[in-house]
Amino acid sequence: MAAAFADLHTDAGLSTLEEYLSNKTFISGNEISKDDVKVYAAVPKKPSGGFPNVSRWYDSIASVLAGRFPGEAVGVRIGGPAAAAAAPAASGATPKEEDDDDLDLFGDETEEEKKAAEVRETAKASSKKKESGKSSVLMDVKPWDDETDMKKLEEAVRSIEMPGLFWGASKLVPVGYGIKKLQIMMTIVDDLVSVDDLVEERLTVEPCNEYVQSCDIVAFNKI
Fold observed for domain 134-222: Alpha-Beta Plaits (3.30.70)
Cα-based angle 216, 193, 123 (whole degrees, multiple of 5):
155
87 phi and psi, to 5 degrees?
-60, -45
Give 29's Cβ-side CA count (13 Å radius).
Answer: 6
| Whole-number average pLDDT of the chain | 80
Each residue's pLDDT tens digit, 177-196: 899 999 999 999 999 999 99
Contact 130, 204 (CB under 8 A): no
Least confident of 9-13, 97-101, 191-195: 97-101
Has residue 13 got a pLDDT over 80? yes
**Average confidence (pLDDT) over 145-149:** 94
| Residue 151 · residue 179 · CB < 8 Å | no
> For residues 49 and 13, which has the higher predicted lDDT (pLDDT)?
13
| Of 199, 69, 56, the residue nearest 139 (C-alpha) | 199
Cα–chain center distance at 17: 17
State the pLDDT at residue 94.
46
Q: What is the pTM of this model?
A: 0.43
**Cα angle for residues 199, 200, 203 (degrees, 5° grid):** 50
H helix intervals, 44-169? 52-68, 81-91, 95-99, 111-130, 150-158
| C-beta of residue 188 within 8 angstroms of C-beta of residue 164 | yes
Query: At residue 108, does pLDDT exceed 50?
Result: yes
For the ranges 103-107, 151-155, 161-165, 201-205, which has the lowest average pLDDT? 103-107
Secondary structure class of 15 (helix, strand, coil): helix
At 37 the pLDDT is 87
Q: How far apart are the first and last CA of the chain?
A: 42
Q: How far is CA 26 from CA 14, 17, 144, in A?
A: 15, 11, 71
Residue 113 has pLDDT above 50, yes or no: yes
> Using CA of residue 40, residue 45, residue 48, residue 50, what is the dihedral sign?
negative
Each residue of 23-68: pLDDT tens digit? 888 888 788 888 888 888 888 888 887 899 989 989 888 888 877 7
Q: What is the pLDDT of residue 118?
A: 76
Mean pLDDT, to the nearest integer, of 197-216? Answer: 91
Residue 51: name the closest of 106, 9, 1 by CA.
9
For residue 42, CA distances in Å to 8, 25, 38, 80, 183 come to 6, 18, 7, 15, 55
User: When comparing pLDDT for 106 and 19, which is higher?
Assistant: 19
pLDDT band at 6 (very low <50, low <70, confident <90, very high): confident
Domain residue spans of the chain: 11-128, 134-222
